[in-house]
Structure 1
Amino acid sequence: MFRLLALCIILACAIPQQALADKPVVVFAGTAAQPPLEEAAQTFQSKTGLRVILHLGSSGSMLNQAHLTGQGDIYIPGSPDYMQKALDFKLVAKDSVTIAYLVPALVVAKGNPLGIKSLDDLKREDLRIGLADPDGVCVGLYAIELLHANHLLEPLRPRLKGMVESCAKTAAMIPLNMVDVVIGWREFATWQPDTMEVILLSPEEIPRLAYVPGAKLLSASNPEGADAFLSFLASREGQAILQKWGYLTTEAEARQFAPKAVFGGTFPLNEVW
């Protein structure tokens, strides 16, 4: 009888720990770093046995999901301004990790068949120009600021196309031949190198650089798993996955593309859009 009672006590103590180990880590993430995030999630699961469920979309829609549902363990937007919104909503812990850095660039079809060489070439009336919705997608907001800073927003406004709902959909406009050039991230070209390439901008043309932050949601049902996955993303192994996909992992690397650009902060979209 005593042995049976002892066994029951042991099992009762073990069940919560096992349940915790079996509980997945739920991530709401923007798609600015989708390919390396997907690979990192698979690698993390192989190493730890903890499953990572990635919900991917625009930084704005993922923020809304976390806010409205009160669920999820981690929020990873594509730029720090959305993390600030999450902090303002009291959705995330104040401590965050920096996962990667992003540089605005022009994205064109492989081989650059239309000979686009610079931002100034966007004035050509034969070009179809694509970008993301600036109201909910980080790269769309950065694109509008870029055009505004270079006095191109008003001349090009009638010809801007797409206004798609995520970074992934923005990048897809090129291989789908929806547009001729996309104002996106430098990193997009590594997603489908057989179909896309980037045109780097002059350093003085880039007003702002971005980074991809990650933070634990205060409503996390698996806080230990969230901490573990965030630590993995910031670790040498996690950063190596980002680097393999062509992402920059230090501020110094990003600064080489635009030494005088602002890092972080936000752009007052409603004043120009």
Structure 2
Amino acid sequence: MKSLRIGILGVLVLLLAIPGLFGCTADKVEQKKELLVYCGITMIKPMADIAEIIEQEYDCKILITKGGSGNLLKSIKANKIGDLYLPGSDAYIQTTLEQGLVTDTVHVGYNKAAMMVKKGNPKSIPASLDSLADKRFLVAIGNPESGSIGRETKKILDKKSIFSKVAANVQMMTTDSKDLTRLLKGEEADLVVNWYATSTWPENKDSISVLPISDEYARKKKLILALLRFSRYPEIAKAFMDYASGDEGRAIFNKYGLYDVR
């Protein structure tokens, strides 16, 4: 009986070892195509919505890595992988074009910087850029080296010739727009400069009031979605770009305050 059991076991092992005998094997399981998108934090909501639509239509998986636009660009240059890049300012796209990192671009929306305070402006902070240098207020701005809002804030303050005064007064320079919102809502800051869109989101609109910055200093910034030259799936990436820049995509961006800005 012992030899019989061994014989049967050997036959089973042999049968299991024959490729395809029972219908499918691990090496025949087709993996979904995966796309990697680099996205500035302020645009993560509309990009996630569009990613779901493209995933269903093309049976693929879209991974979105978010962060400060400058930090994302550093990752793209260092790693040379990924399919799409959406920074918070078109200045970063100009850099990618000059360095040959992208092959195509589309316009998907707009950003504009604004000063923000706690809901109702309880400290009656004047709607003036000079308030950022006022020592009576706790002020936070973005770091120009790490993210688009920091770079834009420096441009605005340089144009008014007060960047050094403001820099001497700020309590913190943050990496990105998300951290600026956290500081304001957490009462660690009285006044910040952030992208207008963040004030319109459901989780923020009841906690934040906007103090608009004059068009003389703060212009609408184009949001440009770029196709990276090392994209593994350019046909799907281009489909994403076409949708994002079309009527449906722009409506999604506008839903999150990233098209009709003030």
TM-score (norm 2): 0.81
Counterpart for residue 236 of structure 2 = 225
Is 1:193 aligned with 2:205?
yes
Q: Which moved more, 1:71-80 or 1:185-194?
A: 185-194
Change over 3 Å in CA distance of 1:113–1:40 after alignment to 2: farther
Per the alignment, residue 88 of structure 1 pairs with 98
Q: Give the aligned partner of residue 77 of structure 2.
A: 67
Structure 2 CA distance, aligned partners of 1:107 and 1:203?
16
2:79 and 2:72 map into 1 onto residues whose CA distance is 11
Partners in 2 of 1:70 and 1:125 — Cα distance?
A: 44
Structure 2 counterparts to residues 1-273 of structure 1, below 5 A: 22-93=32-103, 95-119=104-128, 120-191=130-201, 192-206=204-218, 208-248=219-259
**Rounded Cα–Cα distance in structure 2 between residues aligned with 1:140 and 1:160:** 13
Contact residue 141 and residue 180 of structure 2 kept, 8 A? yes
Kept after mapping to 2: 8 A contact 1:111/1:197: yes
Using the alignment, how far apart are the partners of 2:117 and 2:53 within structure 1? Answer: 31
Aligned-residue offset at 1:221: 0.9
CA contact (8 A) 1:108 1:182 kept: yes
Cα shift at 1:63: 1.1
The SS at the match of 2:185 is: coil
Contiguous gaps of at least 5 residues in structure 2: 1-27
Percent of aligned pairs sharing the same letter: 26
Q: 1:60 to 1:202 in 2, by over 3 A?
A: closer
Output the CA distance in 1 between the equivalents of 2:186 and 2:173: 15
Deviations 1:125-180 (A, max 9, x none): 21111111101211111111211212322322211232222222223221122211
Deviation at 1:59, TM superposition (A): 1.0
Bigger radius of gyration, 1 or 2?
2
Deviation (angstroms), 1:224: 1.2
CA apart distance, 1:26: 0.9
Q: Residue 100 of structure 1 contacts residue 213 of structure 1 at CA under 8 Å; is this kept in 2?
A: yes
Amino acid in the other structure paired with 2:149: V
Give a deviation string over 1:89-147, Cα, whole Å, max 9, x none.
22111x20111111121011222221223123334321111111101211111111211
Instruction: Specify whether residues 71 and 127 from structure 1 end up closer, same or farther in structure 2 by C-alpha distance, changes over 3 A only.
Output: same
Letter paired with 2:217? E
- TM-score normalised by L of structure 1: 0.78
How far apart, CA to CA, are the structure 1 residues paired with 2:85 and 2:61?
16
Give the whole-Å Cα distance in 1 for the aligned partners of 2:237 and 2:150: 28
Task: Kindly provide the amino acid, as one letter, of the partner of residue 118 in structure 1.
Answer: A
Q: Partners in 1 of 2:216 and 2:95 — Cα distance? A: 28
The DSSP-based 3-state class of the residue aligned with 1:174 is helix
Contact 1:30 1:167 (C-alpha < 8 Å) held by counterparts: no
Distance verdict in 2 for CA 1:223–1:81, change over 3 Å: same
Shift of 1:88: 2.3
